[in-house]
Structures are given as structure tokens and as C-alpha cells.
Amino acid sequence: MSELVFFSGTMDCGKSTLALQIGHNRSARGLQGVIFTRDDRAGEGKLSSRLGLVTEAVEAAAGMDLYGYLVTQMSKGAKVDYVIVDEAQFLAPEQIDQLARVVDELDLDVFAFGITTDFRTKLFPGSQRLIELADRLETLQVEAMCWCGARATHNARTVGGEMVVEGEQVVVGDVNRPAAEIGYEVLCRRHHRKRMTSAAAHAGALSPDVLPVTG
């Protein structure tokens, strides 16, 4: 029985690496799949992981009919045994509906990977629809860590090293970018609530206001 499976987690917890691994395992068994992605860090039409692995993918552009694309490819003789979707949070809810239709009508497994909430802790529309429709939800077991050492549960957007809570929901960036750029950092809930990034914590540690009073 085919399934729509949603693998979720924070940034930097290995989602894309697992997507690549699933594709590799099935390819080794002679199966052929279609990989969709949206706004990957490596550029259009790429699925990449922070470990340096990368493969070609189909860019799931806004307004693209994913079900229609697969039907067209299969009608031309392409062999499709499964579907992988990375950065699924960026898809529109109707595209998630199309993925469910792929499972139900084409009898293909669909493995979707994405983060659930944005930098404001609000659900991405694509992720919300996946939670509503998926046959199975899987939380990745590789835990990203906050700068304090606790389990990271929230994604923070930073500008110049400072956390921001306003702006467009989708701005492509990545962790480990120079502080002057728009970037992202994973935080525990406590430090996300306090808007305390690693840069802010470091600055606070150096502030005279928090140094012990002597003599």
C-alpha cells in the first residue's frame, strides 16, 4: 500500500541527507524515482545536503501541477517507482493535494521532507497541509542543537547576527552564513523566545553589565 510520508525537523537535522539516502537505496534495487525540490541551497533543480552530497532534481515551481507532470512523464514511457520531495514546506497546499493524488491514483510512495514552522514559529502552509493529509508523520531522530547545547526545536532568522521576527515567510538562506548576511540558526524554545542567538549570547558574555563586580 503506497503512502504519503512527511519527514519533518528543524534546519540542520539531516532531512536532505535522508532524502538522498532513500533515493540511493531504492536506486540500488533497480527502482527509479522522481525528485522534486524547491529553492535548494545549491540552486534550481538541485537536491543537496550540508554533507556535500548533491543530485539533480525537478524544480517544483509555483503553480506547477506535480501530479500532471508525473502523468505526462509516465505516458511518455518513463519508469517512476517512487517520488521524493525536498523543501516541501515551500509547496502550495494544492500541490500537497496533488502529491496525495499521486499516492492514491498512481499508487506511488511519496516521501516529503521539510520543516514545519517558519522563523516566527508559524506553520508553513505546505507543511500544514502535509500534517493534515499524510499517511505517516516522521520526526527525524538526528537532533539539531542550540548554541546552549539543548535540543533545537525552532528556526530563527538572523540579519547581521541578530534575530528578526518580521518579514516575508520565505527568504532563502542557510545556517553557517556570514553574520552580515540573512541567515538562519536553530535554537531551543527558551532562547528563541528570548531572541538570543549565539552571537547575542557571545556579546552578552562580553558585556561589562554581566561581568562579576570585584573589589
Render pLDDT for 116-147 as a digit per residue (tens, 0 to 9): 988 888 899 999 999 999 999 998 866 778 99
Q: Is residue 134 classed as helix, strand or coil in its secondary structure?
A: coil
pLDDT tens-digit readout, 30-72: 999 999 998 776 567 777 776 667 788 999 999 999 999 999 9
Strand 54-56 and strand 46-48: pairing?
antiparallel
Strand 109-114 and strand 4-8: pairing?
parallel
Model pLDDT, residue 166: 76
Q: Is 87 designated active site? A: yes
Catalytic residue among 44, 87, 143, 185: 87
- Hey, which residues does 110 pair with through a beta bridge? 4, 83
Q: Is residue 142 classed as helix, strand or coil in its secondary structure?
A: coil
Give the predicted TM-score (pTM) of the model.
0.73
